[in-house]
Amino acid sequence: MADAWFETALTHPSNQAAHDQRALTIVHSLLCEITTPEQAAAELAAAYDAPIRKGNTTSVYGLWRIYTEAAARAAEDKYARLRMVWTLKCLAGLPDVLDGKGEVVRENGRVFWRELPELGFCLREGVIEPQFAVDDFKRCKVPSKEWDANVDAFANAHAFAALCVREFGAKLPPQEGLLCFALWHLSETLEVELEGHEGRARHTMLYLPAAAQWIAVAGGAVHKACCANALGSGKKAQKGWIGGGYGSYGLWDGGNGFSVERWRFWRKRLRRIAKVHPDEAVRKMAENAAVQMDRFGCSD
């Protein structure tokens, strides 16, 4: 899995800069357990040191693009993703990068490498729904290998983001942004109509595995955010259209952030999926996620 990703990524036009080519080799070695997280962090920082010191701070977007893609398509299991998260922790612990004047170097206001500049943004932008999931609802009657691969990659990327939240906690600069992404994804998955069109069932087949990762991997952080009413402004959530072309207006009628009430609503929706979804694997996944939520309390 890591080898196939590496071979494809090496020839991709977006990865031809010397520092990006070096990053690909380092990440591949990390995934193959040839390099430790500590070594990988030091080597990644060295690979981007020259362009960053010269003012090419946007080169970091290439690193995060490679990293996000690797987490989605090359990390074979949770242990590989965990090594990637540990590498980020080591990277954040390195000395600040200084320019020729002795001043810290930043990208969009965040310090290299202490604040892992733009990691949160690139994670959110990199975890994108495969476009065919919307376009091909009518034609994709039966899950194909391509569909399955994209569902897995989508879930893996969310699992990686959830691991970042769990392992870094409040120490990860983009944590609030990643929690916002968790809120968005759980909303897109659990606050949309389930019945009325086969496209809605298809939407759940794509989105639920990723949502389940947020509950399984970072359920404690999500529950804590709900208990603290995090990301809420005191206003009601907008009743916009969600769930793609065959979706619906949002079903949640409460506040626009995390809340205990919203946690309970998500759990009810999971149990609804477990009852009515036509796919047995999806029903079982939904029930398991609801059971995991039970362990955190907030009874109905």
| Domain span including residue 179 | 147-299
Predicted local distance difference test score (pLDDT) of residue 128? 54
72, 190: one domain: no
**What residues does 107 pair with on adjacent strands?**
110
More confident residue, 131 or 168: 168
- Residue at 140 is within a domain: no
120, 63: one domain: yes
**What residues does 249 pair with on adjacent strands?**
241
Average pLDDT over every residue of 149-175 = 81
Average pLDDT over the chain, rounded to an integer? 89
pTM of the predicted protein model: 0.91
Instruction: Count up the domains in the chain and report the number.
Output: 2
Predicted local distance difference test score (pLDDT) of residue 138? 46
End of a domain among 128, 163, 191? 128
- Residue at 32 is within a domain: yes
Segment 128-143, tens digit of pLDDT: 555 455 554 544 555 5
Q: For residue 141, how many C-alpha atoms fall within 13 Å in the half-sphere facing its CB? A: 0
More confident residue, 168 or 21: 21
121, 13: one domain: yes
243, 270: one domain: yes
267, 215: one domain: yes
- Residue at 86 is within a domain: yes
69, 166: one domain: no
- Residue at 246 is within a domain: yes
More confident residue, 150 or 205: 205
Predicted local distance difference test score (pLDDT) of residue 234? 81
Predicted local distance difference test score (pLDDT) of residue 238? 80
Average pLDDT over every residue of 49-68 = 96
- Residue at 73 is within a domain: yes
End of a domain among 63, 98, 128? 128
Predicted local distance difference test score (pLDDT) of residue 178? 80
Q: How far is CA 293 from the centre of its chain?
A: 20
Predicted local distance difference test score (pLDDT) of residue 253? 93
- The pLDDT confidence band at residue 125, using thresholds 50, 70 and 90, is confident
Judged on CB neighbours under 10 Å (0-12, 13-18, 19+), 299 is exposed
- Residue at 78 is within a domain: yes
- Residue at 237 is within a domain: yes
Q: Which residues of 29-46 are buried (b: 16+ CB within 10 A; e: fewer)?
A: bbbeeebebeebbbbbbe
Alpha-carbon gap, residue 153 to 146, rounded angstroms:
11
Segment 73-106, tens digit of pLDDT: 999 899 999 999 999 999 999 999 999 999 999 9
106, 66: one domain: yes
60, 25: one domain: yes
211, 156: one domain: yes
End of a domain among 101, 128, 155? 128
173, 124: one domain: no
Predicted local distance difference test score (pLDDT) of residue 172? 56
Tell me the one-letter amino acid at 88.
L
- Residue at 93 is within a domain: yes
DSSP conformation letters of the chain = -HHHHHHHHHT-GGG-SHHHHHHHHHHHHHHTTSS-HHHHHHHHHHHHHHHHHTT-GGGHHHHHHHHHHHHHHT--SHHHHHHHHHHHHHHHTSPPPB-TTSPBPEETTEETTTT-TTHHHHHHHHS---THHHHTTTT--S--HHHHHHHHHHHHHHHHHHHHHHHHGGGSTTHHHHHHHHHHHHHHHHSS--SSSHHHHHHHHHHHHHHHHHHHHHHHHHHHHHHTTTT--SSBPP--EESSTT-EE----SBSS--HHHHHHHHHHHHHHHHH-S-HHHHHHHHHHHHHHHTT----
Segment 1-21, tens digit of pLDDT: 899 999 999 999 999 999 999
Predicted local distance difference test score (pLDDT) of residue 145? 77
Segment 201-253, tens digit of pLDDT: 888 998 999 999 999 999 999 999 999 999 888 888 887 888 777 788 889 99
Predicted local distance difference test score (pLDDT) of residue 93? 94
Is the previous residue joined to 263 through a cis bond, with omega within 30 degrees of 0?
A: no
Predicted local distance difference test score (pLDDT) of residue 139? 45
114, 206: one domain: no
158, 295: one domain: yes
Alpha-carbon gap, residue 261 to 259, rounded angstroms:
5
